[in-house]
């Protein structure tokens, strides 16, 4: 059931976002594990996975900004920050404490390892909190907290008129120049480029939510153009990936295209969901209800399943069939187990589950 005060179609879009995020990781692991974590960035399955799902976290940033300016701002900043402390920071701390016990095993015998001793474990918690590395997807939470911290400033900028609105537009367009880093071993995703990249999408959400219905009506007038741009950027991304063309110094051509692509796709999906009015897809709403918890839990579920079938997945005699099958297995298992854990935690602690795992 959709929580009171949420826009139905925006809530459904959250379900679309989390499904995309789980998909990118499920199929990435399906490719990486059999290949000993060596990425072939020109492999067709790799290109397709990246083209469809890479940077789907931009959807979350857009949703957060949109909901603030359309709904949450009217409730006051005190309530806004209280909610973020309880339902974003608190589960982030809990999940970091739990998953700091799990390490990537570099011995090639599996994926999960325990800390060498209690001192090693305790000493890892604070660095993991600051860098978002208890699970490799947690980098987004410090980014999200940064965006929340500067929300009053961004909100004021997006509400400005005439030339006073120029700084807001600069922020929204800045991801076309400043990009997040690629995923590489030992490279932390939390840097200035990442903050700029996702703050741009968050600011787009703030701007859109200022006059949500009117601005969506205006966007609807250009729906065919948006679809065309989404398709063209997708094709161009694939071409550049196959050709190995991306970075020019700090500038990433692919990340710039992903930013445009994801914003266009977001607009198209939002318009489609809005057109459904009260007939929102139930399956999408169900995932939307637990999206934050799925984000916290899904990587561990993927890794756990991979650990069980490690020998089979690494056996070349079963490839490429095992690669294709394991991607779908990871995707379904991560969603099912994440939802199941939410259900169990909710049975045990009731409404306090939001403070523990986000739902």
Are the C-beta atoms of residues 262 and 20 closer than 8 Å to each other? no
Are the C-beta atoms of residues 345 and 353 closer than 8 Å to each other? yes
3-state secondary structure of 76: coil
Domain residue extents for the chain:
8-357
Whether the pLDDT of residue 32 is over 50: the answer is yes
Burial of 239 (0-12, 13-18, 19+ CB in 10 A): exposed
Token digits of residue 61: 């940033």
Whether the pLDDT of residue 321 is over 70: the answer is yes
CA dist 195 and 214 (Å) reads 29
Are the C-beta atoms of residues 286 and 338 closer than 8 Å to each other? no
What local confidence, expressed as pLDDT, does residue 259 receive? 97
What local confidence, expressed as pLDDT, does residue 103 receive? 80
Kindly state the average pLDDT of the residues 231-253.
93
pLDDT band at 4 (very low <50, low <70, confident <90, very high): very low
pLDDT tens figures, 160-218:
988 888 999 999 999 999 988 887 766 788 899 999 999 999 999 999 999 999 999 99
Token digits of residue 169: 């537009």
Are the C-beta atoms of residues 42 and 244 closer than 8 Å to each other? yes
- What are the φ and ψ backbone dihedral angles of 183, each rounded to 5 degrees? -75, 115
pLDDT tens figures, 280-300:
999 999 999 999 999 999 999
Kindly state the average pLDDT of the residues 116-121.
88
Give which of 138, 255, 242 is closest to 190, Cα–Cα. Answer: 138
Pairing of strands 247-248, 112-113: unpaired
């Amino acid at each position: 059931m959709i929580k009171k005060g949420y826009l139905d179609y925006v809530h459904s879009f959250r379900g679309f976002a989390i499904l995309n995020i789980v998909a990118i990781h499920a199929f990435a692991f399906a490719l990486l594990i059999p290949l000993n974590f060596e990425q072939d960035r020109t492999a067709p399955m790799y290109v397709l996975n990246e083209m469809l799902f890479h940077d789907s976290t931009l959807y979350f940033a857009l949703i957060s900004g949109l909901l603030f300016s359309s709904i949450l701002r009217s409730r006051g900043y005190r309530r806004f920050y209280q909610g973020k402390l309880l339902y974003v920071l608190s589960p982030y701390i809990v999940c970091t404490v739990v998953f700091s016990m799990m390490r990537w095993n570099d011995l090639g015998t599996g994926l999960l390892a325990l800390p060498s001793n209690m001192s090693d474990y305790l000493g890892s918690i604070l660095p993991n909190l600051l860098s978002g590395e208890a699970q490799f997807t947690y980098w987004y939470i410090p980014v999200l907290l940064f965006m929340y911290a500067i929300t009053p400033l961004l909100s004021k900028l997006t509400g400005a008129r005439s030339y006073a609105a120029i700084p807001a537009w600069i922020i929204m367009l800045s991801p076309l120049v400043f990009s997040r880093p690629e995923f590489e071993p030992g490279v932390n995703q939390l840097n200035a480029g990442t903050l700029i990249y996702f703050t741009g999408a968050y600011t787009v959400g703030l701007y859109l939510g200022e006059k949500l219905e009117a601005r969506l009506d205006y966007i609807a007038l250009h729906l065919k153009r948006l679809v065309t741009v989404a398709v063209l950027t997708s094709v161009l991304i694939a071409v550049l990936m196959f050709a190995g063309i991306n970075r020019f110094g700090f500038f990433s051509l692919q990340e710039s295209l992903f930013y445009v692509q994801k914003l266009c796709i977001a607009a198209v999906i939002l318009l489609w969901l809005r057109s459904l009015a009260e007939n929102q897809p139930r399956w999408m709403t169900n995932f939307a209800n637990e999206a934050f918890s799925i984000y916290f839990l899904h990587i561990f579920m993927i890794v756990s399943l991979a650990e069980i079938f490690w020998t089979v997945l690494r056996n070349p005699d079963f490839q490429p069939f095992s690669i294709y099958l394991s991607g779908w297995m990871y995707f379904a298992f991560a969603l099912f187990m994440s939802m199941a854990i939410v259900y169990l935690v909710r049975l045990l602690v009731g409404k306090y589950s939001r403070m523990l795992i986000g739902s």
